[in-house]
Amino acid sequence: KKNSPCIIFIDEIDAVGRQRGAGLGGGNDEREQTLNQLLVEMDGFDTNSTVIVIAATNRPDVLDPALQRPGRFDRQVVVPLPDIRGREQILNVHMRKVPIAADVNAEVIARGTPGFSGADLANLINEAALFAARRNKRLVDMEDLESAKDKIMMGAERRSMVMTEEEKRNTAYHESGHAVVAKLLPKSDPVHKVTIIPRGRALGVTMQLPEQDRFAYDRGYLMDRLAILFGGRIAEELFMNQMTTGASNDFERATQMARDMVTRYGMSDKLGPMVYGENEGEVFLGRSITTHKNLSEATLQQVDQEIRRIIDEQYALARRLLEENRDKVEAMTAALLELETIDADQINDIMEGKPPRPPKPGSSFAAKPDEKPAEPMAPVEATSDPAQEV
């Protein structure tokens, strides 16, 4: 007020602005005192005091209601993730800082990076520049950008990992199971790349990329995703006669997705358009410690049965598809064991019954003759959108 006119900007306001009187402890902790003082001061600004308060948060859902009433923060500006045009323009800004080769097309990169934020795209250009420097190039080309995109979306390669031949084969079958089911289902996202090189915490990855940005998911799409997630374990059973722990993350995500379809999205014919979730708020994020049970035991039992039915149906569908297309799984597995990574063109060749074309010359995943890279075991199929929680 002494220095007015002025603007006060508070970043991460949820650090002090969480709901009061919720969860554990009394109303006298330091954070609540800070919030109370902030509310009093903001209420005390006269219309002519010319002090403007701006705040930012990525958790608007846990803010105290008193902060959001008119007179304190009058309006909210939502800053969503950029769409394909926004990503292209952000890439053009960041590409000015590095020497770019003539073959680089920002539109192609933008189409292949759904769900990326501005910071992700800046990181993509930075990683690509590092790849180019390691390869002693003067310019950053599309190969470097593709390598950087793979690193961000699938994790860094761990070529030093030593795996047995059986584990390599098991991983190749697992990833082929994901990819073949994804290629055969009508509503699945296109398969972009399959690799059996360990990346991040996964021991192999099947990456799908949507053809355009998705803002909502229909029931058929989610059902197909369930079948794709089960493809890895079923391929292990059919071709290796064994089960491994590599499918644990697939099952975890499939179960959560099926539960959300029944309890949150109203996609069950039997239970209808109703929300069956309990309040699951986190106590320390300003949620109440008390929970209210609104569902009977009989209803919860029906919810469990419906989730089980959806999972069993999609598991059976994935199994039937793989049994009918054994030759394609075998061909893809052989290609993975030979090349370690196959792209969309090679996958399409295999699905059409042709031998897969050789890797593009100079591609980052073309096998080097003097290298014997280590490969993985069973994997996690990467989501099409890095930030996506279906």
* pLDDT band with cut points at 50, 70 and 90 for residue 380: very low
The pLDDT value given to residue 130: 94
Q: What pLDDT shows up at residue 199?
A: 84
Q: Which domain, by its residues, includes 23?
A: 6-68
363 inside domain: no
Over residues 23-39, the mean pLDDT reads 73
User: Is the pLDDT reported for residue 335 higher than 50?
Assistant: yes
What pLDDT score does 274 carry? Answer: 86
Coil, strand or helix: which one is 63?
Answer: strand
Q: Which two tokens stand for residue 61?
A: 């859902």
Q: What is the 3-state secondary structure (H, E, C) of the chain?
A: CCCCCEEEEECCCHHHHECCCCCCCCCCCHHHHHHHHHHHHHHCCCCCCCEEEEECCCCHHHECHHHHCCCCCCCCCCCCCCCHHHHHHHHHHHHCCCCECCCCCHHHHHHCCCCCCHHHHHHHHHHHHHHHHHCCCCCECHHHHHHHHHHHHHCCECCCCCCCHHHHHHHHHHHHHHHHHHHHCCCCCCEEEEECCCECCECCEEEECCCCCCCCCCHHHHHHHHHHHHHHHHHHHHHHCCCCHHHHHHHHHHHHHHHHHHHCCCCCCCCCCCCCCCCCCCHHHCCCCCCCCCCCHHHHHHHHHHHHHHHHHHHHHHHHHHHHCHHHHHHHHHHHHHHCEEEHHHHHHHHCCCCCCCCCCCCCCCCCCCCCCCCCCCCCCECCCCCCCC
Is residue 312, in this structure, part of any structural domain at all? Answer: yes
Answer whether residue 357 is part of any domain. Answer: no
The predicted model gives 221-225 an average pLDDT of 94
User: What band does 292 get if pLDDT is binned at 50, 70 and 90?
Assistant: low
Residue 226 pLDDT > 90: yes
- What does DSSP say about strands 191-195 and 205-208: parallel, antiparallel, or unpaired? antiparallel
Is residue 26 situated within a structural domain? yes
In this model, does residue 370 exceed pLDDT 60? no
pLDDT at site 46? 62
Check whether 285 has a pLDDT greater than 70.
Answer: no
**Given a cut of 80, is residue 293 above it in pLDDT?**
no
d(CA 385, CA 389): 8
pLDDT at 225 over 70: yes
Most confident of 194-203, 292-301, 310-319, 365-374: 310-319
CATH of the domain at 145: 1.10.8.60
d(CA 269, CA 262): 9
Q: Are residues 172 and 227 in the same domain?
A: yes
Residue from 50, 45, 119, 63 nearest 87 by CA: 119
Residue type, position 169, single letter: R
Question: Worst-scoring range by mean pLDDT, 28-42, 189-203, 294-308?
Answer: 28-42
Average pLDDT of span 51-59:
89
Residues 249-276: tens digit of each pLDDT: 999 999 999 999 999 898 988 888 888 8
Please give the pLDDT value at position 300.
Answer: 87
In a domain, 381, yes or no: no
pLDDT value at position 382?
40
pLDDT at 365 over 80: no
**Would you say residue 386 lies in a domain?**
no
Residues 6 or more apart whose CB falls under 8 angstroms from that of 177 comprise 231, 232, 233, 234, 235, 236, 318, 322, 329
- 175 a catalytic residue: yes
Token reading at 298: 């009989």
Q: What does the mean pLDDT of the chain come to?
A: 83
Bridge partner list, 140: 100
For position 371, what pLDDT does the model report? 39
State the pLDDT at residue 290.
58
Q: Could you say which of 175, 306, 375, 381 is catalytic?
A: 175
CA distance 364 to 220: 35
Query: 141-171 pLDDT, tens per residue?
Result: 998 998 899 888 888 888 787 888 888 899 9
Mean pLDDT of 128-139: 93
Cα–Cα dist 164/378, whole Å: 12
| 123 has pLDDT over 60 | yes
What CATH number is attached to the domain comprising 221?
1.20.58.760
Decide if 280 is inside a domain: yes
Residue 51 resides in a domain = yes
The pLDDT of residue 379 is 38
Looking at per-residue pLDDT, the higher value among 246 and 126 belongs to 126
Q: Report the alpha-carbon distance of residue 241 to residue 82 in Å, rounded.
A: 45
Do both 202 and 274 map to the same domain?
yes
CA distance 211 to 189: 7
Tell which of 154, 188, 209 closes a domain.
154
Same domain, 214 and 275: yes
- Quick one: average pLDDT of 15-37? 74
- The first and second tokens of residue 321, run together, are 């598809």
Q: Are residues 122 and 231 in the same domain?
A: no
Is the confidence at residue 389, as pLDDT, over 80?
A: no
pLDDT digits (tens, 9 = 90+) for 59-106: 888 888 888 888 788 888 999 899 999 999 999 999 998 999 998 989
